[in-house]
Structures are given as structure tokens and as C-alpha cells.
Amino acid sequence: MVIGVISDTHGKLTKQALEALKGSEIIIHAGDVGGAEILKALEEVAPVYAVRGNTDISEWGRTLPMTQMLEAGGKTIYVLHDIATMDLNPQAANIDIVIYGHSHIPKEERQDGILYFNPGSAGPRRFRLPVCLGRIRVENGEIDAQWINLDR
């Protein structure tokens, strides 16, 4: 199972991002989408699961759920925008992967057998942070996460 992970597009989706997401079986967008056209473009690549970010305040943005729980590749995935707002215990909920955005900082951390993954920001550059997205592969029960740099 190949999962494309993107966040903080803020209304900007580049050709490089779409190209990098090709081959994904699903795409997860961790918020600050910026508009329905972003999700429509992503849906041309693979089915999309998206959550609302703090800047998704338009009427359309308010239709997005704050969190999503889904199963992919035999793993339970919890998606939210800002990790600081997580209001459940992932271990107690049998979650394997927590995907989040908000900080624009790519991060991978494993605690108690759970992968916490921030794909960074694929939208407009912020400060000196990289423009990137992520890919998670689930194969034979193993979870492998990586970032794809879009700065090229």
C-alpha cells in the first residue's frame, strides 16, 4: 500500500507535487487545503482523505472534518491538522499512524510502536523550511515513511 501524504498547500498545488503523488493508492491531506480545487486535482491521482486546517475557514473549508480515522494497508491511521489538538490516546485507540501538519516542519517520530508523521508543507514556502510532501509504504505489516523534496 502506497499512501501519499500532503499538507499545508494553502491553495497552491504544483505539478511537482502531483507528479510525486503518482502511484499513491490513497492520498491524505492533513489540512490547510486552501480550496476545493486542490482536492479535485488530488482526486485525479487517487482517492483523497482530507481534514480541515486552521486556515480552512471558508464555507467550503468548514465542510471538511476536523479529524479522520481510516484503515489502509491493514493499519489504522488517524489524521488531524494540529497535533497539539489531539484529544485521544493513540495507543488506547489501537492507532498505528498519526498524520498531522500545521507546523510546515517535516517530522517523523515513533513512540510506543506508533508512527507520528508530518509531511511538511507542499504549498508556498514559509521561512527557510523545505517544500515537501510524504509517502508512507505499508508492506508485510511494516511501515516505511519518507519525504519527497519539491524544491527542485
What string of DSSP letters covers 83-146?
Answer: GGG--S-TTTTT-SEEE--SS---EEEEETTEEEEE--B-SS--TTPPBEEEEEEEETTEEEEE
pTM: 0.97
CATH number for region 2-149: 3.60.21.10
Domain boundaries, the chain: 2-149
Return the pLDDT at 151: 84
pLDDT digit string, tens, across residues 99-148 = 999 999 999 999 999 999 999 999 999 888 999 999 999 999 999 999 99
